[in-house]
Amino acid sequence: MPTLIVVGTQWGDEGKGKIVDVLTEKADFVVRFQGGNNAGHTLVINQKKFILHLIPSGIFHPHTICVIGNGVVVDPEVIIDEIEKLKKEGLDVSSQKLKISERAHVIMPYHKALDLARESRAKKNKIGTTGRGIGPCYEDKVGRRGFRLIDLTKPDFFREKLKVYLEEKNYYLKYLGAEPLDFKEIYEKYVEYGQYLKPYLTDTSHLLWEAIKQNKNVLFEGAQGTFLDIDYGTYPYVTSSNTLSGNACCGSGLGPTVMNKVLGIVKAYTTRVGEGPFPTELKDELGEYLREKGGEYGATTGRPRRCGWLDLVMVKTAIRLNGISCLAVTKLDVLSGLDTLKVCTAYKIGEKTIESFPSTLDELSQVTPVYEEFPGWKENLSHVKSYNDLPKAAKNYLKNIETYLGVPIKIVSTGPSRENCLFLEEKSLF
């Protein structure tokens, strides 16, 4: 089957958007299957910068159909704003080009209010969420009191349910010290959003199934990263969905037998936003240097990202959790100019050496990274056109990563533009 799942192997922000954008040249469909507008992709196309939160980057390719699967949580305000902005740029964002699952859950105003109120009350124990209402929306989905996009197109049904749900949410908001929300305002706005989005809504599982039967190339684009997964991430400092490749099935309504390859994206160093443990974090000038050179500020919230050395214990664990069959290494250019590069290949807890990511924060807080060192390179990589032209030390760095992980590197990214993408073999991974 010509299907490919792309996932992040770290804490998100690995540069998936750029790789997906390049791979989309050969994709007929690009599918988002989890998360919401907590994600953010920065893309540079013809020297112009675009930030997308919900719509897959396939929107920039004229032949690709973009799909938002049932596993995504959709903030109607955000998606409508994104559609309108892209239209203004002259892009085709018609209902032929963008398909949204009618089953996708809706982020309601009270989800955002609850997210913010809880975080501000939690103070020391806050998760450091993006404040976009992601967690509360998934809670309501699992609690069977959520709205699906299709519900917004049925005003009577929506009105009755909203009355019941909002009463409970307002009670809770007041308890958290936040302002209660107005029923009429939400009802009228969201019915309008339903009308706007109605042409885009469809049974995307059925659509994708037909595409796969016709041998179309389908790319599944993961959001966030492996260690933000609700089950396998650094719980509770995680997002509220399964970010692992397995969720490409449930989040798009397809079975595992249609999935073929899984591409894991590895940033050449490690970053994380929000709270939570980070064994290889550099809290010194070097961390600051990586942040500035790598432009490590959240695409969604603008928050500075914490930076550290590449942690291969994490990536190796991500390979197992996602069934990763090949890798793309991104932002290699950011490491240019450093004399020595360090890579974490194991953790030590006391005298014990471990090579798998621990399940508890307690254990994680006790680990000391074991590093291997490699010589750096001075050359600027932005004009490198092929893998063979990379400096010897850069190739050595990559070769060692590949050998340790036992999975082939197929793509190396050396800058933000489409042109800064070196393919080690053929240009299609399908």
Tokens 């800058």 appear where?
Answer: 415
Residues 54 and 32: beta-carbon distance below 8 Å? yes
Point out the catalytic residue in the list 21, 26, 28, 41.
41
From the CB of residue 232, how many other CB atoms can be counted at a distance below 10 Å?
A: 20
12 near ligand IMP (CB under 6 A): yes
Distance CA 55, CA 20 (A): 12
H helices of 216-272, in order, are 247-250
| C-alpha torsion sign, points 407, 409, 410, 411 | positive
Residues 233-252 that bind ligand IMP (CB under 6 A): 237, 239-240
Query: By C-alpha distance, which of 197, 168, 17 is closest to 100?
Result: 197
Per CB under 6 A, which region of 43-51, 129-137, 139-147, 421-429 contacts ligand IMP?
A: 129-137
- Binding-site residue total for ligand IMP (CB under 6 A)? 21
Using the minimum distance from each CB to ligand IMP, give the nearer residue, 236 or 256.
236
Residue-by-residue DSSP string for 29-91: EEEE-SB-TT--EEEEETTEEEEESSS-GGGGSTTPEEEE-TTBEE-HHHHHHHHHHHHHTT-
CB of residue 193 to ligand IMP, shortest distance in Å: 21
Distance CA 387, CA 397 (A): 13
Using the minimum distance from each CB to ligand IMP, give the nearer residue, 208 or 263.
263
189 is known to lie in a ligand binding site: no
Distance CA 302, CA 325 (A): 32
16 is known to lie in a ligand binding site: yes
Using the minimum distance from each CB to ligand IMP, give the nearer residue, 109 or 135.
135
| C-alpha torsion sign, points 145, 74, 211, 207 | positive
346 is known to lie in a ligand binding site: no
Query: By C-alpha distance, which of 300, 242, 275, 188 is closest to 5?
Result: 242
13 counts as catalytic: yes
Amino acid at residue number 326: C
Per CB under 6 A, which region of 131-139, 280-288, 318-326, 384-392 contacts ligand IMP?
A: 131-139
In 174-283, beta strands by DSSP E: 201-202, 218-221, 261-267, 270-272
Point out the catalytic residue in the list 141, 169, 316, 342.
141
Using the minimum distance from each CB to ligand IMP, give the nearer residue, 135 or 369.
135
Shortest-Cβ-distance residue relative to ligand IMP: 274
The only residue of 19, 83, 98, 127 in contact with ligand IMP, by rule CB under 6 A:
127
Per CB under 6 A, which region of 10-18, 187-195, 214-222, 323-331 contacts ligand IMP?
A: 10-18
14 is known to lie in a ligand binding site: yes
42 is known to lie in a ligand binding site: yes
274 is known to lie in a ligand binding site: no
Look up residue 195 and give its two tokens: 């009308």
Residues 409 and 326: beta-carbon distance below 8 Å? yes
95 is known to lie in a ligand binding site: no
Tokens 């490699």 appear where?
Answer: 374
Residues 196-235 that bind ligand IMP (CB under 6 A): 223-224, 228
47 is known to lie in a ligand binding site: no
274 near ligand IMP (CB under 6 A): yes
The only residue of 128, 180, 304, 323 in contact with ligand IMP, by rule CB under 6 A:
128
The only residue of 22, 207, 273, 367 in contact with ligand IMP, by rule CB under 6 A:
273
313 near ligand IMP (CB under 6 A): no
Query: By C-alpha distance, which of 33, 39, 19 is closest to 67?
Result: 33
Using the minimum distance from each CB to ligand IMP, give the nearer residue, 81 or 275.
275
41 counts as catalytic: yes
**How far is Cα of residue 88 from the mean position of the Cα atoms in its chain?**
25
19 near ligand IMP (CB under 6 A): no
Look up residue 189 and give its two tokens: 């706005």
130 near ligand IMP (CB under 6 A): yes
Task: Give SS3 for 287.
Answer: helix
How many H-runs (helices) and E-runs (strands) does the chain carry?
Answer: 12, 20
Per CB under 6 A, which region of 32-40, 44-52, 101-109, 210-218 contacts ligand IMP?
A: 32-40
Using the minimum distance from each CB to ligand IMP, give the nearer residue, 2 or 225.
225
Tokens 């988002």 appear where?
Answer: 32
Using the minimum distance from each CB to ligand IMP, give the nearer residue, 280 or 336.
280
Tokens 């603008």 appear where?
Answer: 302
Annotated binding site for IMP: 13-16, 38-41, 130, 144, 224, 239, 303
Annotated binding site: 12-18, 38-42, 130, 144, 224, 239, 299-305, 331-333, 413-415
Q: Which residues are catalytic?
A: 13, 41, 141
Contact footprint for ligand IMP (CB under 6 A)? 11-13, 38-40, 127-130, 132, 134-135, 223-224, 228, 237, 239-240, 273-274
Annotated binding site for substrate: 299-305
